[in-house]
Amino acid sequence: MNPMAQGEEPVLPNSLCYLNGEFIPLCDAKVSVLDRGFIFGDGVYEVLPAYNGHIFRFEEHLARLDRSLGELRIPNPLSKEAWLQIARRLIQDLVSTTAVPNQLIYIQVTRGVAPRDHVMLPGLKPTVFVMCGEMKLASAAQRTQGVACVTASDFRWEKAHIKSTSLLGAVFARQISADAGALETVMFRGEFLSEAAASNVWVVKNGVVIGPPKDNLVLEGIRFNLIEDICREQGIPFELRRITRAEVLEADELMLSSATKEVLPVTLLDGQPVGRGASRGLPGPVYQRLYAGYQMAKTIQSI
């Protein structure tokens, strides 16, 4: 893709989106400049993957949306059934016009429109926005060769468990890896692993899959429970606890997980191959088992 010239406006798609009760072309959607999402980043979002039009782990995504909204004291403006109907209509429109095989549904809810004031004003009507686009999954080369990541300090706020639209910290973090020609930035709070810019991070050591604890310092990815379930089914030991920087650097395997990455092997970290022995710098056997289990889950956990 050629870079845009400075000042050139991007061409926005004309696929349908949902905004405050209406289905309109995405290129025509507008919100007030006094929307608190625009002024303060005062809102939350969710990203739901759909495979061949079937939404993956819908209940779990809606539960996380509820948790994020609850933290911001924003009432969920729609029922679960209404969210599902909106998502399915947008998927149907996208598939009928572009025939993309897999889709991403983006949901955003902000506190709404009000005169600028830092206080969480009660009684505002939330702004509700939903769009649907193509989901681009990891390439075959990334799966067979693994991906490169770099490390950095986690300089973001300490409420990372909220899936907030205030993403400037994540933007900065992701740019670190982009500038280095890497896929992701693996971050540490002090000497302990937190997460990557837009992914959760998993360590494999001596056959055990280890992830950070579910607390306010990481966003609990939808794949947290999924990977635990797959490990249980596969007989792979699973553990959530604080993980030191040394453990990450000395891992037998290192993996990322997210909606688009699913589970993806990291084979190069800060320019050094990950792992040891014959599998050093290559996707490892635990990754292979988790990826196979993930593909199986997609066939039975999508609606």
**Would you name the residues annotated as active-site residues?**
163
Pairing verdict, β 147-153 and 43-51: unpaired
CA distance 57 to 222: 8
